[in-house]
C-alpha cells in the first residue's frame, strides 16, 4: 500500500467504480474506499437485477435538481460515449423500444464484475469495510479516517458515497455529512421514484391487482405531471412505474403544504362513456358486481362501481344517463388523495443532495476545497426511472475523473 494515492474515492458504488476504472486506466494510483464488505451492492438491484444502465433518450428534461450540471455532463458523456466505455470493459449493450439500455447478458452482476475487474486490472486498489467517518485537507493532501482508526492519504478526493435511498443496501448519507463538514451546503432530501400512499380504505381489498392506466398527479386540483404504464395496487396505495414516477413531484408539493391527488384513467385512449354504453346494450342483465370485469380486474370493477354510487346488484339495463355518466367518470378519472410516499427504505433514488452551486460544473471540483470532487447520487441531481440515474452516475463520475486527471497533470493537486 502506497504512502499517498493520487485519489481517494469514497464509495464503491456505480459512480465510484466508474471513476476508479477511468482514473486507473489513465495511470493514476487510486483507492476505492467502501464501508461494506463488498462493492456495488445497490448496483446489483438495478433494473430488477438486469441493470438498466442508461437510456438513449437521456436529456436534461428527464432530470431534476441542477439541470445545468446534467446538461454539461451529458454534453461530455452522452449515452453513445458511455456505451463505448462499457464496450471497452467487455459489456456490449442493447436498447429496447423505449431507449432503455441493458447489458446483453441482462445481468447486473455482469456490469458490476466488469467495473470491478476494470479497476483491478489497471491497478486501482479497493479497501472494503472502510467506513469513512472523517475527511480533512492538510496542505496539499487529503486524509480519510475510518471508523476503526485506519487512515489513508491522497492528493485529491472524490466523494461518491450515494444518498439516502435503500439503506438496506448501505445508504445512510455519509457523503453528505463529509461534504457538509468541509463547508458544502446540502439541499433538502426526500424520496424519489417511490410508491404513493393513499388513505388505506380507498384501496382496501385491491392489493396485488394490476392495470394499464394513464395516471395524473393533481396539485391543488391541477394536473402537473402525467405518466402511463402499469399500475400496481397495494394495501397502502399505488405502485408500479407510472405511480413511482410521480413521487418526486408529490413529495415537493406535500412538503410545501399543498393538496395532492392521483387521477387514474383505466381506459386510456378510449371514450369511457361510449365503451360503457356499448357494454350496457350488449350485457343488459349483467350486474354491477361483474359489469366492469374484463375492462379491469373484477374486484377493482366493484370498487369503481361503488365509487360511482352504484349498488353492486344493479343490472346494466338500469344504467340511465346519470348513472352511466357517473360510472364513466370514475372509470376514466378515479381520483384518490395522496398522503405521502414510501420512505427511503423503499425509494430507488434520493432527491436533493450536495448543492451544485458549490462545484465547478465543468469538472465537479469543489469551489470551496481545491482538489475535492463529488459525483453520483450524493449531488443534487436525480433522474426519472428508466436508466437515467445510472447514466448520471457514469457521466458525473467520468466528468470528475477527467477533472482530477487534468488537475493532477497540471500540478494543481
pLDDT tens for 365-374 read 999 999 999 9
Residue 409 in this model has a pLDDT that exceeds 80: yes
pLDDT mean over 9-28 = 98
pLDDT tens for 358-367 read 999 999 999 9
Grid cell for residue 179: 461534504
CB atoms within 10 A of CB 294: 11
Q: Are 73 and 19 in contact (CB under 8 A)?
A: no
- Kindly list the domain boundaries of the chain, sorted by start residue: 5-190+347-409, 196-341
Residue 169: pLDDT band by 50, 70, 90 thresholds? confident
Grid cell for residue 314: 344493479
Residue 164 in this model has a pLDDT that exceeds 70: yes
**Residue bearing cell 483491478:** 120
Q: Which region, left, alpha or beta, applies to residue 365 given φ > 0 means left and ψ of -120 to 50 means alpha?
A: beta
pLDDT at residue 68, rounded to an integer: 97
pLDDT mean over 208-214 = 96
pLDDT tens for 101-137 read 999 999 999 999 999 999 999 999 999 999 999 999 9
Helix axes 14-25 and 79-88, enclosed angle (nearest 10): 70
Q: Are 211 and 232 in contact (CB under 8 A)?
A: no
Overall pTM surpassing 0.75 (yes/no): yes
Q: What ranges in 211-360 are assigned the alpha helix state H? A: 241-244, 247-255, 272-282, 288-291, 298-307, 321-333
pLDDT tens for 337-356 read 999 999 999 999 999 999 99
pLDDT at residue 413, rounded to an integer: 64
CATH code of the region 5-190+347-409:
3.50.50.60
Grid cell for residue 323: 348513472
pLDDT tens for 65-78 read 999 999 999 999 99
Strands (E), 74-124: 93-95, 100-103
Query: Which of 345-367 are b and which e, b meaning 16 or more Cβ less than 10 Å from the residue's Cβ?
Result: ebbbbbbbbbbbebbebebbbbe
pLDDT mean over 181-202 = 96
Cα(363)–Cα(375) distance, integer angstroms: 10
Grid cell for residue 139: 496542505
**Residue bearing cell 443496501:** 169
Residue 2 in this model has a pLDDT that exceeds 80: no
Q: What ranges in 2-40 are assigned the alpha helix state H? A: 14-25
- How far are the Cα atoms of 13, 111, 196, 317, 320 from residue 115, in angstroms, in the given order? 10, 6, 34, 64, 64
Residue 326, CA atoms < 13 Å, CB-side half-sphere: 13
pLDDT tens for 215-255 read 999 999 999 999 999 999 999 999 999 999 999 999 999 99
Amino acid at each position: 500500500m502506497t504512502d499517498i494515492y493520487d485519489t481517494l474515492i469514497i464509495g464503491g458504488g456505480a459512480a465510484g467504480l466508474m471513476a476508479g476504472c477511468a482514473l486507473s486506466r489513465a495511470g493514476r494510483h487510486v483507492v476505492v474506499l467502501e464501508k461494506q464488505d463488498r462493492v456495488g451492492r445497490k448496483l446489483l438491484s438495478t433494473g430488477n437485477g438486469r441493470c438498466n444502465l442508461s437510456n438513449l433518450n437521456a436529456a436534461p428534461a428527464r432530470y431534476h435538481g441542477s439541470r445545468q450540471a446534467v446538461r454539461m455532463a451529458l454534453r461530455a458523456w452522452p449515452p453513445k460515449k458511455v456505451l463505448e466505455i462499457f464496450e471497452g470493459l467487455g459489456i456490449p449493450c442493447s436498447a429496447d423500444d423505449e431507449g432503455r439500455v441493458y447489458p446483453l447478458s441482462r445481468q447486473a452482476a455482469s456490469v458490476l464484475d466488469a467495473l470491478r475487474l476494470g479497476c483491478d486490472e489497471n491497478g486501482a486498489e479497493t479497501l472494503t469495510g472502510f467506513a469513512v467517518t472523517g475527511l480533512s485537507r492538510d496542505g496539499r493532501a487529503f486524509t480519510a479516517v475510518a471508523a476503526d482508526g485506519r487512515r489513508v492519504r491522497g492528493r485529491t478526493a472524490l466523494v461518491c458515497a450515494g444518498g439516502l435511498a435503500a439503506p438496506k443496501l448501505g445508504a445512510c448519507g455519509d457523503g453528505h455529512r463529509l461534504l457538509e463538514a468541509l463547508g458544502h451546503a446540502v439541499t433538502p432530501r426526500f424520496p424519489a421514484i417511490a410508491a404513493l400512499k393513499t388513505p388505506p380504505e380507498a384501496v382496501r381489498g385491491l392489493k396485488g391487482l394490476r392495470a394499464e392506466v394513464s395516471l395524473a398527479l393533481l396539485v391543488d386540483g391541477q394536473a402537473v405531471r402525467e405518466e402511463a404504464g402499469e399500475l400496481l395496487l397495494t394495501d397502502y396505495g399505488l405502485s408500479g412505474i407510472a405511480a413511482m414516477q410521480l413521487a418526486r413531484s408529490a413529495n415537493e408539493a406535500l412538503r410545501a403544504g399543498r393538496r395532492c391527488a392521483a387521477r387514474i384513467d383505466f381506459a386510456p385512449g378510449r371514450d369511457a362513456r361510449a365503451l360503457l354504453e356499448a357494454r350496457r346494450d350488449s350485457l343488459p342483465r349483467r350486474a354491477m358486481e361483474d359489469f366492469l370485469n374484463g375492462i379491469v380486474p373484477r374486484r377493482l370493477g366493484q370498487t369503481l362501481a361503488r365509487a360511482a354510487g352504484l349498488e353492486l346488484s344493479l343490472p346494466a339495463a338500469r344504467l340511465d344517463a346519470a348513472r352511466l355518466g357517473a360510472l364513466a367518470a370514475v372509470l376514466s378519472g378515479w381520483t384518490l388523495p395522496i398522503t405521502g410516499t414510501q420512505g427511503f427504505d423503499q425509494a430507488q433514488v434520493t432527491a436533493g443532495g450536495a448543492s451544485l452551486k458549490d462545484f465547478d460544473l465543468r469538472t465537479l471540483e469543489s469551489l470551496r476545497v481545491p482538489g475535492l470532487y463529488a459525483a453520483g447520487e450524493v449531488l443534487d441531481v436525480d433522474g426519472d426511472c428508466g436508466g437515467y440515474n445510472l447514466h448520471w452516475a457514469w457521466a458525473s463520475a467520468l466528468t470528475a475523473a477527467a477533472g482530477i486527471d487534468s488537475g493532477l497533470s497540471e500540478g494543481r493537486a
